[in-house]
Amino acid sequence: VEFLYCDLASMKSIRQFVQQFRAKNCPLHVLVNNAGVMLVPERKTEDGFEEHFGLNYLGHFLLTNLLLDVLKQSGTHSNNARIITVSSATHYVGKLHLNDLQSRCSYSPHGAYAQSKLALVLFTYQLQRLLTANGSHVTANVVDPGVVNTELYKHVFWVVKVVKWMTAWLCFKTPEEGASTSIYAAVSPEMEGAGGCYLYNEERTKSADIAYDEELQRRLWTESCKMVGISDAASRLP
Q: How confident is the model at residue 148 (pLDDT cuts 50, 70, 90)?
A: very low
The tally of domains found in the chain comes to: 1
Q: Flag whether 5 is in a domain.
A: no
DSSP assigned state of 227: H
Strand order across the 30-33 sheet: 30-33, 81-86, 138-144, 198-200, 203-205
CB 146 within 8 A of CB 86: no
Helix 59-74 to helix 11-23 angle (10° resolution) is: 20
Catalytically active residues, by annotation: 113
Per-position DSSP letters for 45-95, written without gaps between them: -TTS-BHIIIIIIIHHHHHHHHHHHHHHHH--SSS-EEEEEE--GGGGG--
Q: Flag whether 6 is in a domain.
A: no
Q: Is the pLDDT at 151 greater than 90, yes or no?
A: no
Q: Flag whether 176 is in a domain.
A: yes
* CB-count exposure of residue 136 (10 Å: 0-12, 13-18, 19+): buried
Q: Flag whether 23 is in a domain.
A: yes
Q: Flag whether 4 is in a domain.
A: no
The CATH number of the domain holding residue 37 is 3.40.50.720
Q: How confident is the model at residue 171 (pLDDT cuts 50, 70, 90)?
A: low
Q: Flag whether 1 is in a domain.
A: no
pLDDT of the residue at 162:
42
pLDDT in tens, 45-57: 999 999 999 999 9
pTM of the model: 0.87
Q: Flag whether 216 is in a domain.
A: yes
Q: CA 208, CA 69: separation in Å to the nearest integer?
A: 30
Question: What percent of the chain shows pLDDT beyond 70?
Answer: 84
By DSSP bridging, strand 81-86 and strand 203-205 are: unpaired
Q: How confident is the model at residue 169 (pLDDT cuts 50, 70, 90)?
A: very low
Range of the domain at 16: 11-236
pLDDT of the residue at 150:
55
Q: Flag whether 146 is in a domain.
A: yes
Q: How confident is the model at residue 167 (pLDDT cuts 50, 70, 90)?
A: low
